Amino acid sequence: MEIIKERGDFAAAPGQLRQDWASTETSGKFEEGGAGVVALIVHEDLRTGLRAREALAKVEELLELETHFVLNLYRFGMLEDPELAKAATEQAQQSDIVFLSLHGDRDIPPAVRDWLLNWLETKDLEPCALVISLDAATREVLESNSTLNFLRVVTAPLEVDLFLHAGAAPLTALERTTRSNRQALAGRP
Q: How confident is the model at residue 28 (pLDDT cuts 50, 70, 90)?
A: very low
> Nearest 5°: CA angle at 183, between 179 and 185?
115
More confident residue, 183 or 52: 52
For 37-72, letters b (16+ CB in 10 Å) and e give bbbbbbbbeebbbbbbbbbbebbbebbebebebebb
Q: Quick one: pLDDT at residue 157? A: 81
d(CA 83, CA 45): 20
Percent of the chain scoring above 70 in pLDDT: 66
Domain ranges of the chain: 3-185
Q: Quick one: pLDDT at residue 73? A: 94
Statement: residue 18 has pLDDT above 60: no
Element (H, E) at 164: strand 160-167
Q: Quick one: pLDDT at residue 83? A: 97
Statement: residue 126 has pLDDT above 70: yes
Q: Which pLDDT tens digit goes with each residue over 155-170?
A: 888 878 888 888 876 6
Q: Which pLDDT tens digit goes with each residue over 90-103?
A: 999 989 899 999 98
Q: Which pLDDT tens digit goes with each residue over 45-78?
A: 998 999 999 888 888 888 776 767 889 999 999 9
In the CATH hierarchy, which fold is given to the domain comprising 3-185?
Rossmann fold (3.40.50)
Q: Quick one: pLDDT at residue 19? A: 39
Q: How confident is the model at residue 35 (pLDDT cuts 50, 70, 90)?
A: low
Statement: residue 124 has pLDDT above 60: yes
What is the arrangement of strands in the sheet containing 37-43, beginning at the earlier edge strand? 3-5, 160-167, 128-135, 97-101, 37-43, 69-75
Q: Quick one: pLDDT at residue 8? A: 36
Q: Quick one: pLDDT at residue 33? A: 46
